[in-house]
Structure 1
């Protein structure tokens, strides 16, 4: 393409029409929860330590609240990526989550019912004409219990324009001394100690005040190894683990030919599964290979948008403890986690109230940023906490 337009005319054919649902092939296992907690850098004993979990209110291991996205076959992107946009690529732009109460345990089976909902085209400094596309993911368990809704935002753009507009600047990774790493490890441990300190106790709504700040969380430096660990925590990346879609054709979606490939292709999975799991070929390889990251407009290897949404939910859920629950989180992604960078999270209580359903809620503003103070994501969320008996 020689012009600087983005043809989104095909998208109207798909809005509001349900897609094929996402389904795993076997019931979930405790090790799926452990792998997810490990991949998301979330050392909460409730999700991986059998003895600790047995003494909890659940009496057993329970999945992190962020886990539903791990049971999708495309980390929530599918309903936000329908219709052809020629010579395009996709990155995540944000997630809004609603949680309805039921938790996920060993033996459960989840299904994700998906509906594309809308789109808007705007001009951006990143890639010129850019399509922001939305879709809903509705997660249910085998009993029909409504677990969560994820409203995803995908950003679809032309990679050639992103390269032309200089998005690949800052290709060099920052260097961390042994002293720097030691300090980071101390900061990580300080955060982990706050999880241990709460233990199985309740964090009461009564004891939280507007203006309170949550403990700062840190993880990194990110690397291709850590991004690979993240990717492998998504269950759809396991060969044969998902009922693959029959309505997915990345070339038909208009993906850049060098990035389309056979990701999630059930036919190719039986022939050569390495072409289908997203790590080596196809649109996801930009995360793990610096050459392909630069090709689609990123300066170097980078993390996954759906992981950033999980980091936010985990951070808030860990603070709430096992008796609390994140009921809503609206996350906007401003920039990726790049290899060599460190991610920090902070949050501040901005309101506390009782809603029309009688729930005692804490509202927080949360921020994710790197070692330079560059904002990576922002979120506003509501967290339900127990009320002391009168």
Structure 2
């Protein structure tokens, strides 16, 4: 446990990994009850001020009638996947394909399920040999109704290979922002647009329309802490509790050479020693945190009467501490589906200050129709 473990992707390890396909994992939940506080802390952790998630007086006047959780709150139940197999081989959560069926209301109880659906071997410029692992998550409420499901893919890499290749070591970090640049970014971030109670009708949007961005960053350690307060995707324990965990699972922890404290491998998101041991030049964001920002953009745009049906995203690049991302979308298709719902498909991106698309994706939003008199929430509320 003296340093971040270096596992190898061997034929023996892959054979054992293969034997797990189809296994249903035991899920460790951070949240089960969608309490008012749990919802608020999650929204705070992604910087989402939408009153649907926090203002009781406001929501009493909406179709919901009570506080509900942002769709991404399900990440705080568990982060859609379970770290398993290939001990000492690093895991980079690399994308989710969400489908949402029902809202989560305040005081709902949510149970998570997770299944290992397969893997494939690939080559990588980042770390040579890698394994692409696939899982599927499902979330059910206290009435055993399916709330949402997500297909998940995770990249597994050998840490020593990533350090040797050093693909990202030439990036200048922290980013050398000027005060003028920071003021402009912060002013833009504070100009966030929330559609809210003003109904966005399907008839009023067109292919080519742009979805106003949400801006995140410069990413700081406190942003990562706020995320963990609201979502804690792994056990974040202290003192004897953490020591017992690392004695039981040595590959889950390492000793920080600067503080001599035991730290979780999750520390790659805020700890320089852990990030460098994983082959990265700087601590970086959490994949599910990033997709939560994308979902934040969707819920801002669609308003209180819209419904986010699907949200697909690929986590392509790392967003390092000090980076900024502009999460945007554009309508690419407008149609009535086989169920008579009025849909728009939106292509999305998350561009950093280096001009890199860190998260290509797409989503489907169902909007009310003025002409047809349809309201997507009517069929989804109990």
Specify the alignment match of 2:199 in structure 1: 202
Please say if residues 108 and 142 of structure 2, whose CA atoms lie closer than 8 Å, have aligned partners that are also in contact: yes
Match of 1:214 among 211, 215, 238: 211
Which secondary structure does the structure 2 equivalent of 1:331 belong to?
strand
Contact 1:139 1:147 in 2 (8 A): yes
What is the deviation of 1:177?
2.9
Q: Which residue of 2 aligns with 1:144?
A: 144
Provide the C-alpha distance between the structure 1 equivalents of 2:292 and 2:65, rounded to a whole number of angstroms: 24
- Change beyond 3 A, Cα 1:25–1:314: closer
Residue 131 of structure 1 corresponds to 131
Matched with 1:69 is: 75
Q: After superposition, give the CA deviation of every residue in 1:287-339 in whole Å (9 maximum; x if it has no partner).
A: 11011101101210111011112111221122111111111121111012110
- Of 15, 24, 34 in structure 2, the residue corresponding to residue 28 of structure 1 is 34
Conservation of the 8 A alpha-carbon contact between 1:98 and 1:329: yes
Ranges in structure 2 where 5+ consecutive residues have no aligned partner: 1-5, 238-244, 255-260, 373-382
List aligned pairs for 1:251-330, cutoff 5 A: 260-261=252-253, 281-330=263-312
Take 1:184 and 1:290, find their aligned partners in 2: how far apart are those partners?
26
Distance 1:25 1:297, change over 3 A: closer
1:286 Cα deviation from its structure 2 partner: 1.1
1:88 aligns with 2:82: no
Q: Which moved more, 1:282-291 or 1:16-25?
A: 16-25
Cα 1:352–1:124, aligned 2, differ >3 Å: closer, same or farther?
Answer: same
Cα separation, 1, equivalents of 2:246 and 2:309? 35
1:250 Cα offset (Å): 10
Summarize the alignment of residues 55-66 of structure 1 with structure 2, pairs less than 5 Å apart: 55-66=61-72
Cα distance, 1:330–1:280 mapped onto 2, change above 3 Å: farther
**In structure 1, distance between residues paired with 2:271 and 2:145:** 40
Q: Using a 3 Å threshold, how does the CA distance of structure 1 residues 162 and 361 change in structure 2: closer, same or farther? A: same
Q: Is the 8 A contact 2:188 2:215 kept in 1?
A: yes
Q: Distance in 1 between matches of 2:198 and 2:157?
A: 47
Residue 372 in structure 1 maps to residue 354 in structure 2: yes
The aligned residue for residue 120 of structure 1 is: 120
Moved over 3 A (4+): 1-7, 21-26, 235-240, 248-252
